[in-house]
Structure 1
């Protein structure tokens, strides 16, 4: 027991030391006299990333006792067939921020083997914003219909040699407001893959995302926090749409789920 207790104490001391090491810590409590620049230097994290992760406003004065998220950089090597659209969805980080941190043109296609920097821990960044409630892992967001109209095409799972359909297509007049199905953060706003057309993707925490495609116009920007029901775009017929309609997806861990199982039975 003595040896085991000593080992446990040693392990605990190592964990505490790691937690106190500014080069690996993922959070920091501001001490009297500390500045943002000094914290960034000791943490070896660019000042701008700490500002973005914590939603700090100029002149970036800190308060003693204030808790800061220290966003640790991650890297990703682009695999064959991947797109910026999919990478943003996978990491829950706006593509514009990934492109900026990686020094690449956000409008240029990614290349197989390209090394990208994933700049922030999106969940911590979103959770820092009290206006946007974020679901914990396993919790299902309280989804609402993004637009009212008849469902032209239902969800169909992939498999058995059949072509699936990763969401639902809802008919609505061109220019109808498309609204966020739940509160979240915009992780993609722009031209999606060819078949999707103009697209917005929202991250809701717990690895939940919603996708809104075929849009005529986008009214939010990458990184923006939105409320449930907030307008994010206007209905259109871009991509593969042959008439005005919304293509809407709900995913968890990038796996498409049937929206009919998560949306209220009664439309607004």
Structure 2
């Protein structure tokens, strides 16, 4: 599938289903998840979502703040979620502190300037233990709807 088609499908899925998203819809993917073939190989261990500097970022699920502060000169927020998952947001200015409980949809950070993308973007990651996962899997799935085949009807 082309990037445009995947972006359109993602936008449609977001529009059809309510739920926890790190940013308000539509989510615009600037760079897709591209897991490395081995733990130390090159790859993209998250997704980049285009958004303006100052955008409010929300918790994608209930949990606890694992880390809120600088890592390698960038602001990073990491939340521990149920089921052994941990999600990360960068570059951000955290609005919560380590150990604090958060709720789904709670504003937890503000997007800041970064150098990861050509324009402003949120790098959103997801881990289970030390294994990186596609964070888009956290988004709610749309409810399938069947439409009648217009060719089956004749006036």
TM-score, with length taken from structure 1: 0.42
Give 2:83's match in structure 1, choosing from 206, 217, 241. 206
User: SS at the partner of 1:170?
Assistant: strand
User: SS at the partner of 2:136?
Assistant: helix
Deviations along 1:227-263, one digit per CA (max 9) or x if unpaired, are: 1110111112235344221111111112110122331
Give 1:228's match in structure 2, choosing from 85, 104, 112. 104
Counterpart CA distance in 2 for 1:183 and 1:146 is 12
The answer to whether the 8 Å contact 2:60/2:138 transfers is no
The answer to whether the 8 Å contact 2:114/2:121 transfers is no
Length, aligned pairs only: 121
RMSD of aligned residue pairs (Cα, Å): 2.1
Counterpart CA distance in 1 for 2:75 and 2:123 is 11
More helix by share: 1
* Structural mapping, 1:249-264, within 5 Å: 249-264=125-140
Label 1:260 to 1:175 Cα distance change in 2 as closer, same or farther (>3 A). same
Label 1:151 to 1:173 Cα distance change in 2 as closer, same or farther (>3 A). same
- Counterpart position of 1:165: 44
User: SS at the partner of 1:163?
Assistant: coil
- Counterpart position of 2:95: 219
Give unpaired runs (5+ residues) of structure 1: 1-142
Residue 51 (structure 2) pairs with residue 175 (structure 1): no
- Counterpart position of 1:246: 122
- Counterpart position of 2:21: 145
The answer to whether the 8 Å contact 2:90/2:123 transfers is yes
* Structural mapping, 1:53-64, within 5 Å: none
More strand by share: 2
- Counterpart position of 1:192: 71
Counterpart CA distance in 1 for 2:117 and 2:98 is 24
Q: What is the CA-CA distance between 1:153 and the residue it aligns to?
A: 0.4
Counterpart CA distance in 1 for 2:105 and 2:88 is 14
Counterpart CA distance in 1 for 2:113 and 2:141 is 26
- Counterpart position of 2:149: none
Counterpart CA distance in 2 for 1:144 and 1:155 is 19
The answer to whether the 8 Å contact 2:77/2:88 transfers is yes
Q: What is the CA-CA distance between 1:204 and the residue it aligns to?
A: 1.4
Give unpaired runs (5+ residues) of structure 2: 1-18, 143-155
The answer to whether the 8 Å contact 1:168/1:247 transfers is yes
Q: Look at both structures and tell me which one has the larger radius of gyration over its CA atoms.
A: 1
User: SS at the partner of 2:20?
Assistant: coil
Compare relative contact order (CA 8 Å, sep 6+) and give the higher one, 1 or 2.
2
